[in-house]
Structure 1
Amino acid sequence: MPRFRFLAPALLALALCGAPAIASAQSFSDTQRGEIETIIKNYLLAHPEVLEEVSAELSKRQTAAEAEKHEAAVVRNAQAIFSSPRGVTVGNKDGDVTFVEFFDYNCGYCKRAMTDMLELMKSDSRLKVVLKEFPVLGPGSVEAAQVAVAVRMQDPAGKKYLDFHQKLLGGKGQADKARAMAAAKDVGVDMAKLEKDLASPEVRATLEENFKLAEDMGMNGTPSYVIGKQVVIGAVGVDSLKEKIGVARCGKAIC
């Protein structure tokens, strides 16, 4: 065994990386392979911090690979993400950074995320915000999203939509058609036109577009965001969102 001991770090690295040379090696006898396995085991027991280093490196590489995958999806779908007429644009329509949020009216985390979004709009006059309905939490969410799309259809400027959005998402209880209709009425929407627009193919087309985008970008929950070329999943908080905006704007967290 001593004649193999100097190989321990290299063999360990190869073994943990799944190197084909180790997996398919035919040059070692059964006895030699047993000795090598023992060396690796003893090395790990003596230096368990190596596993932490390997795990950290693996996580780093996986994160980088996921970021590359997200960036490619954003580039591929850029027009539909940032400029689709089926999104609701608020904030600075000519802003230098576009902040896109996918949300569900029954998502508790989206309530906090709405506060984050409003704070960002208030503090960053150069931010363009696009809202996209992504109803993943059941029939009530779908009904509320359908009403939201119909509100957008008669409010190109997005002002009434934003009022509606805050009222419905900030309200108590489960969102559904009845609550969404009540919120629409409260903000002064033309209810007769709203009923007519609810039957429009545009409602279905909007939600289908949003779901297709979310699927292609690997979004599996709400809220989810696209900021520049970055995909962000989850309610990460306003400070983290500001950092992402900074990266999109000037390549670093603080410009």
Structure 2
Amino acid sequence: MARPAFYRANMWYRAAIVASALACGLISALNAQAIKAAELPPAQREAIEGIIHDYVLKNPDVLIEALQNAQDKLNHEADAKATKVLSERASEIFDDPATPVGGNPKGNVNIVEFFDYRCPYCKQVLPALQSLLKEDHGLRFVYMEFPVLGSVSVVAAHAALAARQQGKYEAFHTAMMATKGQITEDTVYEVAGSVGIDVDRLKQDMNAPEIDQALKENSALAQALNIHGTPGFIIGKKIVPGALDLDALKERITEARKG
């Protein structure tokens, strides 16, 4: 699957670690085999290590190939594991009553978004999502609060889930996503008040233990699904990391309807 730049960079870093470990392991293995074949004196052992070292330096394509192979292996294994989790934990992902749902609750395509109110890419994709939900009444949208950008994000997520008690979740969500500039705790409460939420009551409701539990479960789900940043989507039965434009979203939805 196509992956955004930040995701590819992360995977490349992980692949580099694996490739480095493979290279070190290769050197160690070759040395071990050589020593096992004959008890070499230190000078000869150093000579063998030098030959291997020089070969790697003079043939960087070997490491580049190892990096690519390691990255491909990581991607394949992570995707396979995440797909398995998606299948096994479908009810937890799509039908948890603790998770807000928008669009058509009985729609024929699920879109799940893992998001953070301080994430600029989440804000960037909001107009496309709003357009889709307005035009396509067969979409069921699952709001997966996933605060990963600091303590203020956690406060905002708590406020959003607490806003459900006043029937204001989607109003708060939309207003928070539309908020520009730096978001502080004061911003969260100002936005809440602007959409008609009783802020004093909200602050009390935010302390409900079930909200904290819901956020912990969302984080665990994201990790299991190999979603490490925001936004992260599940469209139908496919996991799609990164922000998508309107055309890409429509394409994924069409694929989901085809099964």
Normalising by structure 1, we get a TM-score of 0.72
Aligned to 2:136: 124
| Structure 2 CA distance for aligned equivalents of residues 53 and 246 of structure 1 | 36
Deviation larger for 61-70 or 87-96: 61-70
**Deviation for aligned residue 1:56:** 8.3
Change (3 A) 1:58 1:195: closer
**Deviation for aligned residue 1:59:** 6.8
| Structure 2 CA distance for aligned equivalents of residues 247 and 144 of structure 1 | 33
| Structure 2 CA distance for aligned equivalents of residues 224 and 100 of structure 1 | 8
**Deviation for aligned residue 1:140:** 1.1
Report Cα offsets for 1:2-49 as digits up to 9, x if no partner: xxxxxxxxxxxxxxxx9xxxxxx9xxxxxxxxxxxxxxxxxxxxxxxx
**Deviation for aligned residue 1:232:** 1.2
**Deviation for aligned residue 1:213:** 0.7
**Deviation for aligned residue 1:177:** 2.5
Residues 144 and 175 of structure 1 are in contact (CA less than 8 Å); yes or no, is this contact kept in structure 2?
A: no
Report Cα offsets for 1:55-87 as digits up to 9, x if no partner: 989877765544322211111221121011121
Report Cα offsets for 1:152-196 as digits up to 9, x if no partner: 2332xxxx3222112111112222322111111111123343122
Deviation larger for 94-103 or 54-63: 54-63
In the alignment of these two chains, the number of paired residues is 232
Residues 140 and 174 of structure 1 are in contact (CA less than 8 Å); yes or no, is this contact kept in structure 2?
A: no
Residues 116 and 238 of structure 1 are in contact (CA less than 8 Å); yes or no, is this contact kept in structure 2?
A: yes
Residue 85 (1) aligns with residue 93 (2): no
| Structure 1 CA distance for aligned equivalents of residues 123 and 215 of structure 2 | 20
Aligned to 2:10: none
Secondary structure (helix, strand or coil) at the match of 1:144 reads helix
Which of the pair is proportionally richer in helix?
2
Aligned to 2:254: 246
* Residue 134 (structure 1) aligned to one of 127, 134, 146: 146
Secondary structure (helix, strand or coil) at the match of 1:239 reads helix
Aligned to 1:204: 212
| Structure 2 CA distance for aligned equivalents of residues 200 and 55 of structure 1 | 47
How do 1:28-67 residues align onto structure 2 when only pairs under 5 Å count? Answer: 63-67=75-79
Residues 171 and 195 of structure 2 are in contact (CA less than 8 Å); yes or no, is this contact kept in structure 1?
A: yes
Structure 1: tracts of 5 or more residues without a match: 1-17, 19-24, 26-51
Taking only the aligned residue pairs, the percentage that are identical comes to 38
Residues 109 and 256 of structure 2 are in contact (CA less than 8 Å); yes or no, is this contact kept in structure 1?
A: yes
| Structure 1 CA distance for aligned equivalents of residues 207 and 249 of structure 2 | 36
Aligned to 1:4: none
| Structure 1 CA distance for aligned equivalents of residues 248 and 69 of structure 2 | 23
| Structure 2 CA distance for aligned equivalents of residues 54 and 140 of structure 1 | 41
| Structure 2 CA distance for aligned equivalents of residues 170 and 99 of structure 1 | 20
The aligned amino acid for 1:109 is: Y
Normalising by structure 2, we get a TM-score of 0.71
Secondary structure (helix, strand or coil) at the match of 2:121 reads helix
How do 1:105-124 residues align onto structure 2 when only pairs under 5 Å count? Answer: 105-124=117-136
How do 1:163-178 residues align onto structure 2 when only pairs under 5 Å count? Answer: 163-178=171-186
Bigger radius of gyration among the two: 1
Aligned to 2:55: none
